[in-house]
Amino acid sequence: MAHQMRRKEAAWKSRKQEQHPHGKIKSLKVLSSEYEEKHTTL
Q: Mind listing the pLDDT tens digit for each residue in 7-42?
A: 999 999 988 887 766 777 788 898 898 888 888 765
Conformation bin of residue 4: beta by default, left when phi > 0, alpha when psi is -120 to 50: alpha
List the Cα angle 25/29/33 in 5-degree steps. 105
| Global pTM exceeds 0.85 | no
Q: So what's the pLDDT on residue 41?
A: 61
DSSP 26: P
Distance CA(17)–CA(9), nearest Å, equals 12
Distance CA(22)–CA(19), nearest Å, equals 10
